Each structure stands twice: as C-alpha cells, then as structure tokens.
Homo-oligomer: A and B are copies of this chain.
Amino acid sequence: MSLLSYNLILKNINRFINLNQEEENFYVSLLTERKIKRKEFLIKQGQISKHDYFIIKGCLKVYTLDNKGSEHISMFAIEDWWTGDMASFISQQPGHYFIQALEDSIVLQISKSNFDLLFKQIPKFERFYRILYQRSLVSFVQRANQGISESAEERYLNFVKKHPNIINRVSQKNIAAYLGVTPEFLSLLRKKIVSV
C-alpha cells in the first residue's frame, strides 16, 4: 500500500477523530489496496458484498438494474469518497448493486471481519462512522425528496452546480441514468438549456 493512499485515507478519517500513531498503524493494517481497470466490477448484483471501499484514484458508478433491465445509478464515487453496497455488506446477504469502474481506479478496501474488529479494537471508529453516516443521511434524505419533488431539468441543473467536476468526467448516458431519465431526454434538456 502506497504512502499516498495511506495519507489520503488517514486525512479523511482525521476530519472527525484523532488517531495516535499506534492506532493509525493498526487501522492501515486492516486495509488492502486494489487496482481496478475501466469497465471492471468491484461487486455485482446478487453477490454478497465482502468489502467496504474508499476511493484513492479514479471514478466508479454504483447502480442497479430494474426488472425492465434499465440502469439506475445511485452514486458516482471519486477520489476521497467512500462507497459500497451497505445493505449487503452489513447483513452479509446478496446485494442489489453493481459497482463498476468508469476509469482505471485504485481503492482501499476493508473486509467485513476487519470492519467488525476495528470497532472492537478502536471504539473511536464508532464515532467516525456515526458522523460519516449522519452526513450521508442528510444528503440522501435531500436526494430522496428531490427525486420526487423536482423536474428532470431542475435535478440536472442542481447536479451540475453541486458536482461540476463529475459532469466533466462522466458520459451523458451515465448522468441520465443517475438523474432517472433517458439519454435522449437529457440531450433535449441540454439543448434547451443552452439555447436559453
């Protein structure tokens, strides 16, 4: 595991809790680095999710396929973000999500058993995840409401404003699958927006 990876994840964690040198060493010992090429999968629908992931470099999408076979992206994960199929990881039951790399990527992963061990050995991590989940909840509640209350055009404009960096890295087809519209309709929206 490279020094770069090590620094990035510890800096992420140190936003909320302070670890001493010994704790840092122990924590890092629970992680493994994994390289994944564009189009490869971290997990697939139906599998039990064995790991939780932190992105060091690259970009991935988390998505499901509905019964009609169409793709719904629930998040894009880029550098310094956490991702995974939480429901499957926690329950160790088959999951509903695919996680696929959109660019060659590097992630750090922690296994379920090491995740459990972590809380036993360094209870401070309860606090870290309490705060991390709390913040995630705030944005998911917001997104759940937006999904229901806003038009596709509003959702697109909000996404552009909030994640300009992602817009430039990800195809419109994927943006459409995130917004919950067809690529054709997104194309139409963009044309309309530009012409205004």
Contacts and interface: CB of A to CB of B under 8 A. Distances in A.
A11 interface: no
Contacts of A38: none
Contacts of A144: 74, 140, 143-144, 147
Contacts of A64: 145, 149
Interface string A141-157: 11111011110000000
Contact of A142 (B87, B145, B150): B87
A149 B141 CA distance: 16
Interface in A65-123: 66, 70, 72, 74, 86-87, 90, 119, 123
A175 to B, nearest CB: 13
A138 B90 contact: yes
A180 interface: yes
Contact of A126 (B66, B126, B138, B150): B126
B145 A72 contact: yes
A25 interface: no
A133 interface: yes
Contact of A134 (B86, B123, B141, B142): B86
Nearest to A74: B145
Contacts of A141: 74, 86-87, 140
Contact of A133 (B74, B87, B130): B130
Contacts of A1: none
A167 interface: no
Contact of A90 (B86, B123, B134): B134
In order of increasing CB-CB distance, the 8 nearest A-B pairs are A148-B180, A147-B147, A133-B133, A126-B126, A130-B130, A144-B144, A126-B127, A140-B140
6 contacts: A66-B149, A66-B150, A130-B133, A133-B137, A140-B141, A148-B180
